[in-house]
Amino acid sequence: MTSRHATGPHIPGIAAGRIDAATLHENFADLHAAYDPHEAAVAADRCYFCHDAPCITACPTAIDIPLFIRQIATGQPEAAAKTIFEQNILGGMCARVCPTETLCEEACVREAAEGKPVEIGRLQRHATDSLMARQGHPFARAAATGKRVAVVGAGPAGLSCAHRLAMHGHDVTIYEAKPRAGGLNEYGIAAYKATNDFAAREVEWLLGIGGITIENGKALGRDITLESLRADYDAVFLGHGLGGVNGLDAEGADRAGVEDAVDFIATLRQSDDLTSLPVGRHVVVIGGGMTAVDAAVQSKLLGAEEVTLAYRRGRDRMGASRFEQDLAASKGVRLLFNVAPRAVHGNGTVREIEFEYTHEVDGRLQGTGETVRLPADQVFRAIGQNLSEDAGLDRAGGKIAVTGPGRTSMQGVWAGGDCTPGEDLTVVAVAEGRDAAEDINDALVG
């Protein structure tokens, strides 16, 4: 039951327009407002310029954080940005979406000292925004090598790889399945983390290096094959992410109203008019990672009356950081732990979802036998994604096996990002794409 004219959070079923446009606009505004220059100067002054700084070690892309913060402190945010971009060309997005509370800011000695780290993420955003506001691209390409590289996937890994390759003078073609580039930055994260079309603007800015062509609507295994890419290019990098979504192992999981959280988030991100976007009155999100939090929080912000995030294990096992958990709680999402979905009830359409309480015995999850039913008009699955296309490469742990800087089991084929083992984070994907590019460059011209 979807109605464009429904109003209010109490309308049953899945309905659009639960809250007015102005409130929606406010709800989906920037999660962390940008610093003004003075705020940035004060925040930057808190950095101790540590020796062999723990924050650098904690950053998957190893940005020289104390150096860029000092550059902000001395009044050169654009020079600071260049320090960031040298290591991480998607430093702008990472400043917005990185779980800094479990990376650089957790490692900050001021976190140990006073529980209040230097706000590295916000400072990084200040620097990168300053440079990007000029719309100038800070790097130049090396002399053309005449080498051509195919990159599959225009997400963080592919873009990072392509940019570094382009810098080295190679020509890059990126094949992207979706209509827009950016990958999860464009389709897969909460809107309030990348406002004002930042993901698209960042891609455009990144392409300013030159030498990169993106072909949209080209999916590996559907429109292109690894064989043809290997035949046509000097090297191939796969960064196509995880195309599949794990199913819900519960009775009645096929009822209407049970959806993938990633689809919901993607639809929301591509929507021009949030008042037309339907959401349930009672929403239950199943999962414990960032996608689950992003889906739950955005459901609430869209006007769902009641949103529950249900996770089968305890809070400490949740993939989403404590900051994300607190964010969800502050927006009114109820966090329910130690509950595993057992059945989806309803007459064709979901009405209720039934959970069984769980506990861990020697690290193994067991049901207690006790169950609870929650009203639900809409259920989002956010229990992980899986590799849908391995192009015949060796696998490891359900992903494309790699050694060193992204070398796959096939000569001339590299891979990185979510389709390879390791943490599924934007910043990790950027590091993997960059390092693979360096290795490809060595292989092509070394």
**Site for other proteins contains 49 (CB under 8 A):** yes
Binding residue for other proteins, selected from 21, 112, 256, 445, defined by CB under 8 A:
112
**Site for other proteins contains 316 (CB under 8 A):** no
Give the count of residues interacting with other proteins (CB under 8 A). Answer: 17
* CB 153 within 8 Å of CB 243: no
**Site for other proteins contains 36 (CB under 8 A):** no
Binding residue for other proteins, selected from 6, 15, 16, 44, defined by CB under 8 A:
44
State in angstroms the smallest separation of the CB of 52 from other proteins.
6
**Site for other proteins contains 5 (CB under 8 A):** no
Backbone angles phi, psi at 342, to 5 degrees: -120, -35
Output 16 or 107, the one with its CB closest to other proteins.
107
- Own/partner pairs for 226-233, CB < 8 Å, 24+ apart? 226/391, 226/392, 226/393, 226/410, 226/413, 229/150, 229/152, 229/175, 230/410, 230/412, 230/413, 232/148, 232/150, 233/148, 233/149, 233/150, 233/173
Show the binding pattern over residues 336-375: x = contacts other proteins (CB under 8 A), - = does not.
Answer: ----------------------------------------
**Site for other proteins contains 41 (CB under 8 A):** yes
Output 21 or 112, the one with its CB closest to other proteins.
112
Binding residue for other proteins, selected from 5, 22, 36, 38, defined by CB under 8 A:
38
**Site for other proteins contains 48 (CB under 8 A):** yes
What is the residue-wise DSSP string for 70-129? HHHHTT-HHHHHHHHHHH-TTHHHHHHHS-GGGTHHHH-HHHHHHS----HHHHHHHHHH
Output 62 or 372, the one with its CB closest to other proteins.
62
Residue partners of 381: CB distance under 8 A and separation at least 6: 245, 246, 247, 248, 258, 259, 260, 261, 286, 287
Instruction: Find the largest Cα–Cα distance for the chain.
Output: 67
State in angstroms the smallest separation of the CB of 57 from other proteins.
10
Q: Which residues pair with 352 in a beta bridge?
A: 345, 375
Q: What is d(CA 362, CA 273) in angstroms, rounded to the nearest whole number?
A: 49
**Site for other proteins contains 116 (CB under 8 A):** no
* CB 156 within 8 Å of CB 183: yes
Binding residue for other proteins, selected from 52, 272, 316, 362, defined by CB under 8 A:
52
**Site for other proteins contains 75 (CB under 8 A):** no
**Site for other proteins contains 70 (CB under 8 A):** no
State in angstroms the smallest separation of the CB of 67 from other proteins.
14
Output 54 or 208, the one with its CB closest to other proteins.
54
Name the residue among 402, 188, 429 with its Cα closest to residue 293: 188
Q: Which residues pair with 380 in a beta bridge?
A: 259, 285
**Site for other proteins contains 79 (CB under 8 A):** no
Output 29 or 42, the one with its CB closest to other proteins.
42
State in angstroms the smallest separation of the CB of 44 from other proteins.
8
**Site for other proteins contains 113 (CB under 8 A):** yes
**Site for other proteins contains 110 (CB under 8 A):** yes
Name the residue among 294, 351, 306 with its Cα closest to residue 332: 306
**DSSP designation for 6:** -
Binding site for other proteins (CB under 8 A): 38, 41-42, 44-45, 48-54, 73, 109-110, 112-113
